Amino acid sequence: MQMNYLSTHSLLKRRAGYKKFLTLLSSTLSPVLISGLLLTNAAKAESDIDQDNLDDIVYQAMKVKPNIDNGRNLYRNCAVCHSPEGWGAASGRYPQIAGQHISVNIKQLRDIHDGNRDNPTMVPFTAPLFVQGAQSLADVSAYINQLPMVPNNSVGYGSELAEGKKLYDENCKECHKANGEGNAEKFYPRIQGQHYSYLVRQLHWIKNGKRRNADKKMVKQLQKFTFREIDLMSDYVSRLRPDKSIVAESIYWKNPDFRAGFYSAPRD
Amino acid sequence: MSDTKKIAVFFITFFMFSLSNSVWSDSMLDEQLREVASGGTEKQLNQLIKKGANVNAPGKYGKRPLMYAAEAGNIDIAVSLLSYGAEVNARTKKGDTALTLATQNGHASISALLIEFGANVHDRTRVGMDSLMIAAKSGNVSIVEQLLQFNADVRSSDNLGNTALMYAIKGGHTKVVMALFNNSRRIAPCIPNNIGVTPLMAAINEGHTDIINIVLPKIKHVDFQDNFGTAALHYAADKNNMEVVKYLVEHQAKINLEDSDKETALFYAVRAENVDVVKYLLGNKADKSLKNSEGITAYQLAVEKKNQALVDLLK
């Protein structure tokens, strides 16, 4: 399965060049020929649906040098739900965001802000970031990225892991990589070590169209999956271990940027 | 006074004095905290809490620091108070909560925060309004969506029987009406308020065409009458809304349905001098011989109005 949340930056550039080429052609060739070319283009680009909707701000944010200190201040409002450590909730109510790729964080913030994901309680918190601009987006995303991941995320029942692996290898591996580390350059999120219930919920939401920032091809592929298959795949993914260098040393690790006893939203 | 009594009085006075002093100093800190919560900075708040101010200390009428922050829309202070464990569902004597106050003042980020911290979305004020009704009344789509995501009850009504849908309609907030229909399967577009007015009647009365277009196709009982016997057709005839009159007649609304004064839609159209509606109703078998409770026909009413076009139609 091609889990294209987005296509690459280079692909975007290639498409922009292709459009220019078509514009040039339009002055010389007949409209019939042009429409034929456009149709072919549309068919080819079926899996690249989101790229045209991407704002420049996403790419601007990826280009600027992040300021972690500012990110720390901005993250304070995020911490009340995602926890100071960014580990989310084992119940799956909040995802683990610690260690997520900067590009993915920026892109997801954009999607939530634009209403491509149903998250009405997070929308008001994304708005100030977009008002402040690309630098703030980059800062908070980079701060989240450098947080160590939770060593004991919640996992599924552990039955039929072999089938879960088979499903993952056949459908997800191509984009999310063998160990679920994703691809920062291509906006494919890190899914290894994510909470099991969160994975199940998101896959169902992508399948039934509630989460609208997944590409059409991924939605189409997921629609073939049964509840059981989604469960098995999520179970397998939740058990993929991130590299030790990006995982916290202990489950008792506390984010030193926050005072002891910092309450966050209920976890269940 | 004996010596024993004197000693006793001295100790009691000393004890009372020391107690009142500590209570007084604490209440001063708490008072300052409430002021800071309303318009101060996070740094000031942290200093006061370190000195021993109580994050949950209620002020006059039971209003707490978190409520002040929610009312003022101070997100940094609200985050701080919650991170110190401020109580989310405390209520004032009037029945307000931090959530209802944030909603009333349109602070979507604070309402989101409170909802995530477990604020009760069903809490009502003394007049029976919950946060959903308040948000619908003020036309705040983002708060409405937040509340619906966390299972706010779209069918609940206040002391007057008005639901969130009714408030959105009265305020002419089309986006809120759309959000209510899009985000909840439980929404009931036919539920009347305490005087029997349905959302459709309210929409016709207010003349919001966009909202009428959303609500009208969802109506099942076209002849529903309010407490005065007035049906949607009466409202449409009165407001000269030809589109709705046609829709209702085409959907088998009783054209000669009488209200409590025995007046049909024809009377309403004549009284409002809506010639086109009168013409349409007459063309669809409206009975012009019917008399109202005062014994007057539609024709006599037209004569009273001195409207020659209507007189000619009703002759």
**pLDDT on residue A21:** 41
Say whether both A136 and A186 belong to one domain: no
Q: Are B156 and B188 in contact (CB under 8 A)?
A: no
Say whether both A108 and A218 belong to one domain: no
Give the angle A153-A212-A43 at the CA atoms, nearest 5°: 120
Say whether both A141 and A171 belong to one domain: no
| Residue closest to A79 by CA, chosen among B73, B55, B79, B85 | B79
Say whether both A115 and A225 belong to one domain: no
How far are the Cα atoms of A1, A41, A89, A213 from residue A49, in angstroms, in the given order?
A: 15, 12, 31, 9
What is the distance between the terminal CA atoms of chain B, rounded to a whole angstrom? 104
**pLDDT on residue B18:** 54
* B302 or A25, greater pLDDT: B302
Dihedral (CA of A16, A18, A19, A21) sign: positive
Helix (H), strand (E) at residue B59: none
d(CA A237, CA A1): 14
On whether residue A5 sits in a domain, the answer given is no
* B230 or A219, greater pLDDT: B230
Across the A/B interface, how many CB contacts are shorter than 8 Å? 46
d(CA A267, CA A153): 13
Say whether both A118 and A175 belong to one domain: no
d(CA A266, CA A124): 20
What are the tokens at B205?
A: 């009365």
Q: Which portions of chain A are predicted below pLDDT 50? A: 1-50, 53
d(CA B65, CA B31): 9
Find the mean pLDDT for residues B62-82.
Answer: 96
d(CA B196, CA B189): 13
Say whether both A116 and A208 belong to one domain: no
| Residue closest to A146 by CA, chosen among A256, A250, A238 | A256
Q: Which of A76, A121, A125 sits opposite B115 (nearest CB)?
A: A121
Within 8 A of A264 by CB-CB distance, chain B residues are: 83
Q: What CATH code is carried by the domain that includes residue A225?
A: 1.10.760.10
Say whether both A137 and A181 belong to one domain: no
Q: Are B133 and B162 in contact (CB under 8 A)?
A: yes
d(CA B105, CA B46): 25
On whether residue A165 sits in a domain, the answer given is yes
Say whether both A183 and A130 belong to one domain: no
Q: How far is A84 from chain B (nearest CA, A)?
A: 11
CB neighbours of A170 closer than 8 A, spacing ≥ 6? A1
Q: Are B98 and B106 in contact (CB under 8 A)?
A: no
Q: Are B216 and B248 in contact (CB under 8 A)?
A: no
Residue to test with chain B: of A114, A121, A201, A257, most B Cβ within 10 A = A121
| Residue closest to B200 by CA, chosen among B178, B228, B221, B173 | B221
Interface of A with B in 203-262 (CB under 8 A): 261-262
Q: Are B36 and B46 in contact (CB under 8 A)?
A: no
**pLDDT on residue B17:** 53
**pLDDT on residue A219:** 87
Please judge whether A80 and B142 are an interchain contact, meaning their C-beta atoms are less than 8 angstroms apart: no
Say whether both A77 and A167 belong to one domain: no
Please judge whether B118 and A263 are an interchain contact, meaning their C-beta atoms are less than 8 angstroms apart: no
Burial of A234 (0-12, 13-18, 19+ CB in 10 A): buried
Say whether both A139 and A174 belong to one domain: no
On whether residue A117 sits in a domain, the answer given is yes
Taking the model in full, what pTM does it have?
A: 0.83
At residue B150, what are phi and psi to the nearest 5 degrees?
-105, 35
Grade residue B185 by pLDDT with cuts at 50, 70 and 90.
confident
On whether residue A261 sits in a domain, the answer given is no
CB neighbours of A43 closer than 8 A, spacing ≥ 6? none
Report percent pLDDT > 90 for chain B: 88
Measured between CA atoms, the residue of chain A closest to residue B81 is: A263
Measured between CA atoms, the residue of chain A closest to residue B148 is: A120
CB neighbours of B300 closer than 8 A, spacing ≥ 6? none
Measured between CA atoms, the residue of chain B closest to residue A76 is: B79
**pLDDT on residue B6:** 79
| Residue closest to B228 by CA, chosen among B205, B196, B200 | B196
Alpha-carbon torsion, ordered B218, B222, B225, B229, to 10 deg: 150
Q: How far is B130 from chain A (nearest CA, A)?
A: 18
Say whether both A50 and A109 belong to one domain: yes
Provide the residue type at A129 as one letter. Answer: L
Please judge whether A124 and B142 are an interchain contact, meaning their C-beta atoms are less than 8 angstroms apart: yes
Q: Are B88 and B101 in contact (CB under 8 A)?
A: no
On whether residue A198 sits in a domain, the answer given is yes
Dihedral (CA of A68, B66, B34, B109) sign: positive
On whether residue A7 sits in a domain, the answer given is no
**pLDDT on residue B10:** 74
> Domains in chain A: how many in total?
2
Say whether both A112 and A165 belong to one domain: no
d(CA B10, CA A234): 74
d(CA B55, CA A111): 36
Dihedral (CA of A61, A64, A66, A70) sign: negative
Q: How far is A165 from chain B (nearest CA, A)?
A: 34
Please judge whether B79 and A76 are an interchain contact, meaning their C-beta atoms are less than 8 angstroms apart: yes
Q: How far is B118 from chain A (nearest CA, A)?
A: 7
Interface of A with B in 90-149 (CB under 8 A): 118, 120-125, 127
Within 8 A of B74 by CB-CB distance, chain A residues are: none
On whether residue A2 sits in a domain, the answer given is no
Provide the residue type at B303 as one letter. Answer: V
**pLDDT on residue A111:** 94
Please judge whether B82 and A124 are an interchain contact, meaning their C-beta atoms are less than 8 angstroms apart: no
Q: Are A137 and A61 in contact (CB under 8 A)?
A: yes
How far are the Cα atoms of A133, B45, B56, B67 from residue B71, in angstroms, in the given order?
A: 28, 17, 16, 6
Residue with tokens 């290894």, as numbered in its chain: A192
d(CA A98, CA A146): 7
Mean model confidence pLDDT for chain B: 93
On whether residue A130 sits in a domain, the answer given is yes
Q: How far is A51 from chain B (nearest CA, A)?
A: 26
Provide the residue type at A154 as one letter. Answer: S
Task: Find the domain containing A175 and state its range.
Answer: 161-246
| Residue closest to B44 by CA, chosen among B73, B6, B80 | B80
ipTM > 0.90, yes or no: no
